[in-house]
Amino acid sequence: MADIPDSHPRKASLMSRLRMVEASKRGLLAESAMIAHGRGEAFDYLLGERTSDSASLAIREAAARLLVAESPVISMNGNSTVLAGSEAIMIASILGCPVEVNIYYRTSERMESLIGELESLRDRLGRESPEMARESIMDVEILGAVADGRILGLEGPRSLCSSRGIEQADIVLVPLEDGDRCEALISLGKQVIAIDLNPLSRTSKKATVTIVDDVTRAMGRLAEELLENPTTTDWNNEAVLRDALDIMSSSSLRIG
């Protein structure tokens, strides 16, 4: 990775770009991955590249709901694996739940690469963690290789999932989900926790709890929040979407 000085104001953003470029060369990403990432970057720029207060509330609500869920699962695609793979493993180890690779453009090569990537992140995290946490990290199961489940309401390869993961889950944490799938999961009676920098996306509007924040920041914060044992509230998701839009529209007034 390039040597970017800590003082560089866009360091985190540039590091994410480099991770994406490197992962793309290794075949982990779909062809459109950079376009999706660029759209996210633009929204993040308007948000001031920080976790807003309302996003922090959404992270707490997400943690509370995941902690009381019977059967949570974390659904990962290419971008989220590259940008928050280790954070997903941490969250799964705290919750004792599986991580499932579930991608829009499904090819066996990319499924294998992403599962392999998450397994090696898990093994590295396990090796580097204190004894106390090691076992629960190493126990995190990476699902997706066996597509013996279905997401009813979706057609073709996009409907495939694991029967022990998304199919039987009561709550799905989906960083960077697409709108159709979010809608289908909600129609099946599941709760969806989405992380999406675009408060206007169909995913953001349909999800049960939307965290309008960068996926790397949000997943790291979520892992910390789970340790605080928060409790659920009467959640108003529309309010956090409105707040994100307010921040973005007032950011133009802050310039100059």
Binding site for ligand ATP (CB under 6 A): 36-37, 39-40, 43, 83, 176, 178-179, 195-198, 201-203, 214-215
At residue 97, φ and ψ (nearest 5 deg) are -120, 165
User: Between residues 183 and 225, which has the closer beta carbon with respect to ligand ATP?
Assistant: 183
User: Between residues 137 and 183, which has the closer beta carbon with respect to ligand ATP?
Assistant: 183
A 10 A CB-CB count for 156 gives 7
User: Between residues 113 and 204, which has the closer beta carbon with respect to ligand ATP?
Assistant: 204
Nearest distance, CB of residue 94 and ligand ATP, angstroms: 21
Nearest distance, CB of residue 179 and ligand ATP, angstroms: 3
Chain centroid to Cα 201, Å, comes to 15
Nearest distance, CB of residue 142 and ligand ATP, angstroms: 21
Chain centroid to Cα 90, Å, comes to 12
Chain position whose Cβ is nearest to ligand ATP: 40
Nearest distance, CB of residue 237 and ligand ATP, angstroms: 14
DSSP string, 165-234: TGGG-SEEEEET--HHHHHHHHHTT-EEEEE-S-TTSHHHHHSSEEE-S-HHHHHHHHHHHHTT------
CA geometry: angle 98, 103, 106, nearest 5 deg: 125
Nearest distance, CB of residue 202 and ligand ATP, angstroms: 4
User: Between residues 21 and 68, which has the closer beta carbon with respect to ligand ATP?
Assistant: 21
User: Between residues 19 and 60, which has the closer beta carbon with respect to ligand ATP?
Assistant: 19
Nearest distance, CB of residue 77 and ligand ATP, angstroms: 9
| Contact call for residues 194 and 233 (beta carbons, < 8 A) | no
Determine the residue type at 131.
Answer: E
User: Between residues 100 and 177, which has the closer beta carbon with respect to ligand ATP?
Assistant: 177
A 10 A CB-CB count for 48 gives 12
